[in-house]
Amino acid sequence: MTFPARFLWGTATAAHQVEGNNVASDFWVLENAPGSSFAEPSGDACDQYRLYRQDLALLKELGFTSYRFSIEWARVEPEDGRFSYAAIAHYRDVLEACHELGLVPHVTLHHFTSPRWLMRLGGWEWEGTPERFAAYCRLVMSELGPLIPYVCTINEANIAPLIRSLRPAKDETDTSHAPVGIDDTMGDLFGGGFKTAAAELGTTPEELHVFLFTDSEAGAAVVKQAHIAARRAVREASPDTQVGFTLAISDLQALPGGEETADRLWAEQVGDFLTVTDGDDFLGVQNYTRALVAADGIQPQPEGAELTQLGYEFCPEALEGALRRAAGAGLPLIVTENGVSTTDDSRRTEFMRRALEGVERCLADGIDVRGYYYWSALDNFEWMLGYRPQFGLVAVDRATQRREVKDSARYLGEIARRNAL
- Inform me whether the pLDDT recorded for 73 exceeds 90: yes
Question: 56 lies in which domain range?
Answer: 8-248+268-287+317-418
Q: Is residue 301 part of a domain?
A: no
Q: How far is CA 362 from CA 5, 281, 322, 323, in A?
A: 16, 19, 10, 7
Q: How far is CA 404 from CA 65, 317, 349, 392, in A?
A: 20, 28, 16, 10
Task: With CA atoms as reference, report the closest residue to 252 among 338, 318, 346, 185.
Answer: 318
Active site annotation includes 303: no
Assigned domain for 167 exists = yes
DSSP 271: I
The answer on pLDDT for 165 being more than 80 is: no
Residues 58-83: what's their mean pLDDT?
98
Q: What is the pLDDT of residue 181?
A: 39
Single-letter code of the amino acid located at 194: F
Question: Residue 183 maps to which CATH number?
Answer: 3.20.20.80
CB 27 within 8 A of CB 179: no
pLDDT of 164 = 74
In this structure, is residue 109 part of a structural domain? yes
Q: pLDDT digits over 273-321, tens only?
A: 999 999 999 999 999 999 999 999 999 999 999 999 999 999 999 999 9
From the CB of residue 104, how many other CB atoms can be counted at a distance below 10 Å? 19
What pLDDT score was predicted for residue 359?
Answer: 98
Q: Which of 77, 156, 320, 337 is catalytic?
A: 156
Residue 358, domain member (yes or no):
yes
Confidence label for 163 from pLDDT (cuts 50, 70 and 90): confident
Rounded to 5 degrees, φ, ψ at 84 are -95, 110
Whether residue 240 is contained in a domain is answered as yes
**Confidence class for position 120, pLDDT limits 50, 70, 90:** very high
- The string of DSSP letters for 37-57 reads SSSS--TTTT-HHHHHHHHHH
Confidence at residue 167, expressed as pLDDT on a 0 to 100 scale = 58
Closest CA to 241 of 291, 269, 281, 205: 281
Q: What is the pTM of this model?
A: 0.95
361 domain residue, yes or no: yes
pLDDT, the chain, mean: 94
- Whether 311 is in a domain gets the answer no
Name the band, by pLDDT with cuts 50, 70 and 90, for residue 168.
Answer: low
State how far Cα 139 lies from the chain centre. 22
Number of domains into which the chain is organized = 1
- 323: in domain: yes
Ramachandran angles phi, psi of 241, nearest 5°: -80, 135
pLDDT of amino acid 79: 98
